[in-house]
Chain A
Amino acid sequence: MAFKLNKEKFRDAVLELIRLTSTELPRDVIAAMEKARDNEEPGSAAKSVLGSMLKNVVMAKADSTPICQDTGTNIHFVTIPEGISLRKVEQAIIEATQQATAEAYLRPNAVDSLTGKNTGDNTGVMAPYIHFEEWDDPAIKLQLALKGGGCENVSTQYKLPDTSLKAGRNLEGVYKCIIDAINKAQGLGCAPGVIGVGVGGDRATGMIMAKKQLFRKMGDSNPVQQLDDLEQKLLVDLNKLGIGPLGFGGKTTVLGVKIGAVHRLPASFFVSIAYMCWADRHHEMLFTESEVSYD
């Protein structure tokens, strides 16, 4: 069945997705933060800071204002039915982004790297970033993440083998890189973070895989047993670092670790680490010809 795209309807639906993502945290992230808050020592700065973050989440939702003023890089993962025009979808997303900026759901965040000039509407070369895939369903799935600058600055990439960490080209090596990266990040990425990891790929595809992990549910399990084991182990061990919320010390340094693997060249073995701050803003929309739904 051919899918006919109503561009205006789609654009409005994307605008709502942007508003939702900027102003409301996903329920599973809120639940993870509540659990973390309850788990911290009574009277600790960690506990009260997590409490304030959660209070901020409630206020932002009630007022429909951005959870954090850094509304970040807009990353769209779009899955479309066969035959849909990518250009039309892209154009609708761009228009929705401009409108969302005008309505203050997004802060103007697209700066020309050569002149330093801010475009003022969050659009520019590869901004917003849109990644396309295709599926059989007669619907467009759009996943959006808003990823802030503070946490992107502590995101990083390793090349294995890494002699300083004595990290080889295996999952143990991957483990060492992740411990090292989160330790180096301290509180700077607005901990507690959610850690997306891409194992393998080239420098770009590995990082895309890492960012894709950020759309997974907090409590899910990895279908690949080896990776699932590694995720569980890292979640426990990273929280032993004691960095805590915003680096004030405490039991919660990360809320989750999600790892995906990409095929690589025989000559390269990259570990790409995408640090997402506690303001882990991402949502999903399903757009069919007759209705729109959000997660």
Chain B
Amino acid sequence: MIKLQLPLTEADVRQLKVGDEVALSGIMVTGRDEAHTWLINDKPDNVRKLLEGSVIYHCGPVVSKTDGEWKFVAAGPTTSIREEPIQADVVKEYKLRGVIGKGGMGPKTLAGLKEFGAVYLHAIGGAATLLAKSVKKVTDVIKLEEFGVPEAMWILEVEDFPAVVTMDSHGNSLHTKIKADSDKIAKELIGN
């Protein structure tokens, strides 16, 4: 288990390779379709400092509010591939060091991760309660009114948020490798 403190440097990220288990602590930001589109179309400046060196988490949480304080009740990852068309651009524009989600992403993102020095981290799909507990504090939320709860950008302080590196900054994707291997075995089993 590699402990990582956000924000990350390029050196932090370049040492990671696929299959590494990591635990993240520090400030991260959630973002789904609406946030990604907004980041590219409007290029807002108020989030640059926040995102630089940090990671964007593909997550539509279940939240509760007590005494004016937001709390994450369930915070599992959502499917990442939807952001494939613009993920690399977002990484570049905002100097992100990582993307967290589930299911992995495609060749454009993989190339972007390599070029700009970032990684794709796979969170534990379905482990909603466990992941919510690693969110120590919701420090702010951006575009809540406009985007709604699942799509808003939630600024989170996390502690030991668990994930696995499945796409590294050297052009390797665990997803591609596992698929190539299993394709071969499936073919043998099907026997054609």
Per the 8 Å Cβ criterion, residues 102-154 of B in contact with A are 102-104, 122, 124-131, 133
Could you say which interface size class chain B belongs to? 35 or more
Tell me whether A180 and B186 are in contact in the complex, defined as CB-CB below 8 angstroms, given that A65-B73, A247-B175, A247-B178 are known contacts.
Answer: yes
Closest chain A residue to B181 by CB distance?
A242
Return the contact of B189 from the options A69, A107, A167, A179 (Cβ within 8 A): A179
Contact digits for B154-172, partner A, Cβ 8 Å, 1 yes 0 no: 0000000010101000000
Across the interface, do A190 and B164 meet the contact criterion of CB distance under 8 Å? no
Q: Which residues of A contact B40 (CB under 8 A)?
A: none
Could you say which interface size class chain A belongs to? 35 or more
Q: Which residues of B contact A150 (CB under 8 A)?
A: 79, 102, 125
One of A6-14, A54-62, A124-132, A284-292 at the interface: A54-62
Per the 8 Å Cβ criterion, residues 43-76 of B in contact with A are 60-62, 64, 73-76
Closest chain B residue to A153 by CB distance?
B79
CA–CA, A59 and B102, complex, Å: 21
Across the interface, do B189 and A240 meet the contact criterion of CB distance under 8 Å? yes
Q: Which residues of B contact A67 (CB under 8 A)?
A: 126, 128-129
Across the interface, do A107 and B178 meet the contact criterion of CB distance under 8 Å? no
How distant is B63 from chain A, measured CB to nearest CB, in Å?
10
Q: Which residues of A contact B124 (CB under 8 A)?
A: 49, 52-53, 56, 246
Answer yes or no: B183 CB below 8 A from chain A CBs.
Answer: yes
How distant is A21 from chain B, measured CB to nearest CB, in Å?
15
Answer yes or no: A77 CB below 8 A from chain B CBs.
Answer: no
Return the contact of A246 from the options B122, B133, B183 (Cβ within 8 A): B122
Per the 8 Å Cβ criterion, residues 146-165 of A in contact with B are 148, 150, 165
How distant is A168 from chain B, measured CB to nearest CB, in Å?
12
Return the contact of B74 from the options A55, A69, A248 (Cβ within 8 A): A69
B residues bordering A, Cβ < 8 Å?
A: 1, 19, 21, 60-62, 64, 73-76, 79, 102-104, 122, 124-131, 133, 162, 164, 166, 174-175, 178-179, 181-183, 185-186, 189-190, 192
10 contacts between A and B (CB under 8 A): A45-B21, A49-B164, A52-B162, A53-B124, A56-B128, A188-B79, A240-B189, A242-B178, A242-B182, A243-B182
